[in-house]
Amino acid sequence: MTNTLHRFGPAESFRDDYVIFAIASKGRNDQGALEKLRTFLRMAVPFQPVNLGDARHGGALRPCREMTPLAHWKRDTKPDFEAVIEGLDHTTTVAAVFDNKVAAEDFLKAVKEADLGLSINISTSIDGAEQCCWAAGIPRHSVGYSLGFEGKTEKMPNSQVMMLSTMCGHGMVSHRLANKMIDWVKEGRRTPEQAVTYLARFCSCGVFNPSRARRILEEARGSFK
């Protein structure tokens, strides 16, 4: 079970979305786990992730209480992976997010070889996860399915809003903010790149995928023309 299980969209929409988690089990393999988790994150950087996540402090793009709205026009939008790694101060769940299968497979191979003694979880489409396992030469241990949404689904936001907002596993990217960013991109008030950084900063677990979000926003803009 992962906090990314309910990412919304058909299987094909996860072609650029691979989240690899590492977590220690309290009382079982958490002895010395903090440095192992840092090692996991450091190992991910050479494989060019699009985000790194620390479930306590967030991802490589984070909010700041000291900034005014004017800061948005000049703010640094480059992900700070080192801040995530160095800021890890408790044994928690960490994640590396990739936007292509090859990078995810290669990183998983490296993690297997490192044998850190941590639990590893892959979140993407079922087929994509199985291919990563095959590439790393490991059998799939288990699988978790999301059964989707039931009830008065006609009252739900549209699919583009849902795909953006559910990329934060803790629901910190609101439907209204996602809808606002879509509107702003359609109106030319923000580029998809700018809108993505706004959305990513609200994800408290750091598993928001900027590449997938950018694609969704570009598709929304294209459908508006």
Q: What is the pLDDT of residues 98-108, one digit of tens each?
A: 999 999 999 99
> Which residues are CB-neighbours of 145 under 8 A, at least 6 positions away?
5, 126
* Start-to-end CA span in the chain (Å): 40
Instruction: Supply the DSSP symbol for 13.
Output: G
Q: Are 9 and 159 in contact (CB under 8 A)?
A: yes
What are the tens digits of pLDDT across the range 16-66?
999 999 999 888 888 889 999 999 999 999 999 999 999 999 999 988 777
Token pair for 35: 């440095």
Prediction pTM value = 0.93
Q: Kindly list the domain boundaries of the chain, sorted by start residue.
A: 11-224
Confidence band, pLDDT 50/70/90 cuts, at residue 214: very high
What local confidence, expressed as pLDDT, does residue 72 receive? 63
Q: How far apart are CA 36 and CA 24, in angstroms?
A: 9
